[in-house]
Amino acid sequence: MKIAAAATAFPPHWYDQRTLTEALVAILDADERLAERVRALHANTGIDGRYTSLPLEAYAGLRDFTQANAHWLQTALTIGEAACKQAMERAGVQPHEVDMIVFSTVTGLASPSVDARLMKRLGLRPDCKRMPLFGLGCVAGAVTVARAADFLRGNPQGVVLVLCVELCTLTLQPQDRSVANLISVGLFGDGAAAAVIVGSEHRAVGPRICATRSVFYPDTENVMGWDIGAHGFRIVLSAEVPNVARERVPIDVDAFLASQGKSRGDIARWIAHPGGPKVLQGLQDGLGVSRETLRCSWESLARAGNLSSASVLMILEQTLRTNPGAPGEFGVMLAMGPGFCSEFLLLQW
């Protein structure tokens, strides 16, 4: 199995972090004490700016989940289509060649799902298999690629199109003054990312997926996720996430690599979901790698914030474009998400 291409697409609105913070302060109708706390939290995210589905002034007018979800679906289709078409073009794959589309999101709901609504728009075959996924959150970018690889083990000439769309700003909860919410609205942004994964006998070229591993951490269901109700999506985010990244993930990475006869010293490329600055720093410290080694992750966080599932695919795209591996080099693609869980892929160029 090979990763033939990756591509990203964003809504048309981008704002610098300070502008976003001041808009949120106004929406919260925050007193000076709360306003200063929000400004301090957002200033420490390491984010230059983020994309938003709506013009900034429109967020104060969102009345309920129904309205927010309608905007989510409209934007998801637009940028999802753009990311998929660009990924297929880069891979040199025609729509009729796609055997399966795997779609994931955790920021909106639709039935028929987004992948179904994109079938005709993308020109996919009527017998193209669909796998819509919900609830995986940030880990989904890695999971969708891994599940595509599972499918292609039995289809060596096959093609899988992977799409992740996350429109985090549309989950805004103006009444939630929790620290988790105040941090999340300064951290998460909107975007879509797609990738084309092909079987081992397909003509397209790209890094080979050598192996994958899923890891679930028992009794961690309250570490990260959403409280979903009539109010929409309310963030659940524990301060323990950076500790997991620093202490648990490196142990599991080592076990995964050892199962393939490898160690961290064999890895030349790390394609890591950024989470936030504390999570990324924890991962960097735990793995014992330099900031330069995770440069694409830091740059992705600065440019667009945390895009949940789409982030690691955005980092994959940037790695393939600006820091491709030499023939024979190994890389690891990894992400963490609700569960709490991790997903690892061993790649070879």
SS (H, E, C) 164-228: EEEEHHHHCCCCCCCHHHHHHCCCECEEEEEEEEECCCCCCCCCEEEEEEEEECCCCCCCEEEEE
Provide the annotated active-site residues. 138
Banded model confidence at residue 218, pLDDT cuts 50, 70, 90: confident
Distance CA 90, CA 232 (A): 36
Contact assessment for residue 102 and residue 116, using Cβ atoms and an 8 Å cutoff? no
Quick one: pLDDT at residue 254? Answer: 97
CATH of the domain at 283: 3.40.47.10
Domain count, the chain: 2
DSSP output for 10-73: --SEEEEHHHHHHHHHHHHT--HHHHHHHHHHHHTS---EEEESS-GGGGGG--SHHHHHHHHH
Distance CA 35, CA 53 (A): 24
Pairwise pLDDT comparison (300 vs 184), residue with the higher score: 300
Contact assessment for residue 267 and residue 292, using Cβ atoms and an 8 Å cutoff? no
Quick one: pLDDT at residue 76? Answer: 98
Banded model confidence at residue 198, pLDDT cuts 50, 70, 90: very high
Are 303 and 179 found together in one domain? no
Domain-embedded: residue 57:
yes
Are 236 and 269 found together in one domain? yes
Banded model confidence at residue 179, pLDDT cuts 50, 70, 90: confident
Are 77 and 225 found together in one domain? no
Q: What is the mean pLDDT of residues 122-148?
A: 97
Domain-embedded: residue 203:
no
Pairwise pLDDT comparison (177 vs 128), residue with the higher score: 128
Quick one: pLDDT at residue 323? Answer: 80
Distance CA 190, CA 74 (A): 13
Last residue of a domain, one of 157, 173, 198: 198
Are 21 and 51 found together in one domain? yes
- What range defines the domain where residue 44 resides? 2-198
Are 181 and 129 found together in one domain? yes
pTM, 2 dp = 0.94
Distance CA 150, CA 1 (A): 9
For the segment 64-112, what is each residue's pLDDT rounded down to a tens digit?
Answer: 999 999 999 999 999 999 999 999 999 999 999 999 999 999 999 999 9
C-alpha to C-alpha distances, 343 to 79, 119, 137, 175, 256, nearest whole angstrom = 25, 28, 12, 34, 10
